[in-house]
Amino acid sequence: MTTDFATAPRRLENMDDLVSLCARRGFIFPSSEIYGGINGFWDYGPLGVELKQNLKACWWQRMVRERDDVVGLDSSIICHPRTWEASGHTEHFSDPMVDCRACKKRFRADQLDDIGSCSAREGSSEHDLTEPRNFNLMLRTSIGASEDAASLAYLRAETCQPIFNDFKRVRETARQKIPFGIAQIGKAFRNEINPRNFTFRSREFEQAEMEFFCHPREREKWFSHWLEERLCFHRELGLDDEYLRTRRHEEGELAHYAKQAVDVEYRFPFGWQEIEGIHDRGDWDLRRHSEYSGKDLGVTDPETKEHFFPMVVETSVGVDRTCLAVLCHAYTVETFEGGDERTVMRFHPALAPLKAAVLPLSKKLAQPARKLHLELRRHWNVFYDESGNIGRRYRRQDEVGTPFCLTYDFDSEDDRKVTVRHRDSMSQHRIAIDAVVDYLREQLENSG
């Protein structure tokens, strides 16, 4: 079946269109909206939470459950403050900031283009900037009954440091030998001065990180393996090559601990930006935590008896950033002959918040349609909608990216079939009600 478009389908060009769809359909909206929001914090609504869960589940399945050599972890957000001394964060994790003596605002010294957005610009005062000073990006809190220095603690700035803390315990309890990896998904916090680009740069965000520990002579091999593997992952989620690239960090750009680093970048409407980093962290972290804790985090080769610190190859996904890339990539507007438009979110079926929608053609058919809905819901997140004309209901599902609509009509009672409508092609065909579970299972499982 061919569809007659008046013009080529349009992709997302203006982020405002996506921000608006996300708020309107309950994917993502500002945290604490009723209080005017809080800069750099976002809430995932009923559809957003499913999309994000699906993305995390794909990552976990691929990175942990399908591998013998990677195990999972879920560590606390607040850990011992010595962790961040050992990692170098208390000393180095800062941005250079300048204050404006005239407007009293603070800006990143390396992003002075932001200064254009400052309201003082419109007034009479001209900026009068101080010399840059370092401003630590970790969020601090205190725990325990008193608020002295002993009770100071940090919200983790990255999920990988607790992995290093737990390296020995996990290796021993999981009976792993190097090479092997430890993976975790969880929240991290950074006091970004200028949160921007929707959820791209926020103060509270989720990471999916994996630290892979290997012998020094194998680090190059594993770095290449993981870079290839991670690119594959993003491609399989539907981000195609035209929108995906790698960018190798140059010498001067590398973090103090890094031996080499490659970013996986997605072409957002606001430019090419990192959604994942693959880093060769060397033995920096294990060496430092050994030094600061007094515990030996080295390993001994059972054959050569050589004792050494494993090298670490890290893969670090920004979960919110990848969600945002997936949302940007899915967004499509089609214009038909006659001028009608539809907005369709072309999510990969594995990521789609709703896998199917059951739509009775008339409210009179609600009872049997609900029966089908009940059965499907045991397996997948399936929506039921009986309100409005069928065309409008299709459009509602297109706009939230539901891959399959199942329409129960007046013939269904007789032929025991429903109409399956495909989101992207809008093609329709009838299948037996008894075969719907198997049909969806095949479509959803083989879509990867």
**Residues of this chain, 249-288, that bind its own copies according to CB under 8 A:** none
Out of 189, 200, 331, 408, which residue is the one contacting its own copies (CB under 8 A)? 189
CB distance 185 to 207 below 8 Å: yes
> Is 112 one of the binding residues for its own copies (CB under 8 A)?
no
201-230 residues in contact with its own copies (CB under 8 A) are: 203-204
Listed in order, strand segments (DSSP E) in 151-282 are 152-154, 180-189, 204-214, 244-248, 260-268, 271-282
371-400 residues in contact with its own copies (CB under 8 A) are: 377-378, 381, 384
Out of 10, 11, 19, 23, which residue is the one contacting its own copies (CB under 8 A)? 23
Instruction: Report angle CA 264, 268, 273 to the nearest 5 degrees.
Output: 35
153-172 residues in contact with its own copies (CB under 8 A) are: 153, 155, 162, 165-166, 168-170
Cβ closest to its own copies, residue 56 vs residue 417: 56
CB of residue 379 vs its own copies: minimum separation in angstroms? Answer: 10
Q: Could you tell me the CA-to-CA distances from 121 to 103, 115, 116, 405 in Å, in that order? A: 9, 8, 7, 52
CB of residue 66 vs its own copies: minimum separation in angstroms? Answer: 6
Q: Could you tell me the CA-to-CA distances from 106 to 42, 128, 397 in Å, in that order? A: 23, 11, 44
Kindly list the strands in the beta sheet with 341-345, ordered across the sheet, starting from the edge strand earlier in the chain.
Answer: 10-11, 331-335, 341-345
66-105 residues in contact with its own copies (CB under 8 A) are: 66, 68, 71-80, 82-83, 97
CB of residue 433 vs its own copies: minimum separation in angstroms? Answer: 20
CB of residue 141 vs its own copies: minimum separation in angstroms? Answer: 5
Cβ closest to its own copies, residue 139 vs residue 254: 139
**3-state SS, residue 392:** helix
Cβ closest to its own copies, residue 46 vs residue 123: 46
Give Cβ neighbours of residue 310 (< 8 Å, ≥ 6 apart).
178, 179, 213, 214, 215, 216, 283, 286, 298, 299
Contact range with its own copies by CB under 8 A, out of 60-68, 110-118, 303-311, 327-335: 60-68
Q: Could you tell me the CA-to-CA distances from 328 to 5, 6, 25, 271, 349 in Å, in that order? A: 21, 23, 15, 12, 16
CB of residue 284 vs its own copies: minimum separation in angstroms? Answer: 16
Q: What mask, x for binding its own copies by CB under 8 A, covers residues 332 to 371? A: ----------------------------------------
CB of residue 425 vs its own copies: minimum separation in angstroms? Answer: 27
Q: What mask, x for binding its own copies by CB under 8 A, covers residues 282 to 321? A: -------x--xx-x-x------------------------
Cβ closest to its own copies, residue 99 vs residue 220: 99
Q: Could you tell me the CA-to-CA distances from 355 to 47, 48, 350, 390, 421 in Å, in that order? A: 11, 14, 8, 18, 12
- Sign for the CA dihedral angle at 222, 227, 233, 235 comes to negative
